[in-house]
Every structure is written in C-alpha cells, then in structure tokens.
Amino acid sequence: NAGVTQTPKFRVLKTGQSMTLLCAQDMNHEYMYWYRQDPGMGLRLIHYSVGEGTTAKGEVPDGYNVSRLKKQNFLLGLESAAPSQTSVYFCASSYRQGSYTFGSGTRLTVV
C-alpha cells in the first residue's frame, strides 16, 4: 500500500500565484488533515475533513481553502500565495479518533 501520497514534493511560487496541493490516501480513512510545519512551531492544523464533502477550519486556516470531493483525496489550495506561506505542508489521514498516517510532505517556497 502507498499510504498517504502528496504531490508535488517541492514547489516555488511567486507572490500572488495560486496552486493546489494534492493528498491521496488508499487506507479508506474517514478523516483527513492538512498541517503546516515551520521551524520552532511544530505542526499546526490548517483544515481538516471528517468525511467526503465535509471540511472544517483548524488553527491557521487563513489564506487556504480545501475540498474533499472524493473520500480518498483532500486538496489544499492557495489562491494568492504570500511569503508567510513558505512552509512544509503535511497531509495526514486517520480513522475516527485513531492514529494519524502522514505523507512525506510538500516543501513550498513563496518568493
């Protein structure tokens, strides 16, 4: 099994550009999450989903949008990228109240 797959692995954006990060899981997990990781800040929750067609805000949702049109996919969008969104983004999935399985991350630089 592939587990949780994130694409792309690396990306450089110019300020104001848009992009979508894709997360796919093959474990039939109900819950999916997007976190960002910054030096000294740990992992902070951006948005999450508790099932197909649902989304909810986490701790740091501003500047991001998400969609969960299919159970296995969770998309994170940046409509107008800012340098403050330079980070490593991790997707994760889980059963309800279960342990998370993380992807390998997307390193995004906004210049």
Partner 1 sequence: GENVEQHPSTLSVQEGDSAVIKCTYSDSASNYFPWYKQELGKGPQLIIDIRSNVGEKKDQRIAVTLNKTAKHFSLHITETQPEDSAVYFCAATDPTGYSTLTFGKGTMLLVSP
Q: Quote the CA–CA distance of 27 and 10 in Å, as a whole number.
A: 24
**CB of 99: closest distance to partner 1 in angstroms?**
5
- Interface positions, 48-107, toward partner 1 (CB under 8 A): 48, 50, 56, 58-59, 90, 92, 96-97, 99-105
Q: Which residues contact 26 (CB under 8 A, 6 or more apart)?
A: 1, 2, 3, 72
Residue of 78, 60, 76 whose CA lies nearest to 12:
78
User: Toward partner 1, which CB reaches closer, 81 or 92?
Assistant: 92
Total residues in contact with partner 1, by rule CB under 8 A: 26
Which positions lie near partner 1, rule CB under 8 A? Answer: 4, 31, 33, 35, 40-45, 48, 50, 56, 58-59, 90, 92, 96-97, 99-105
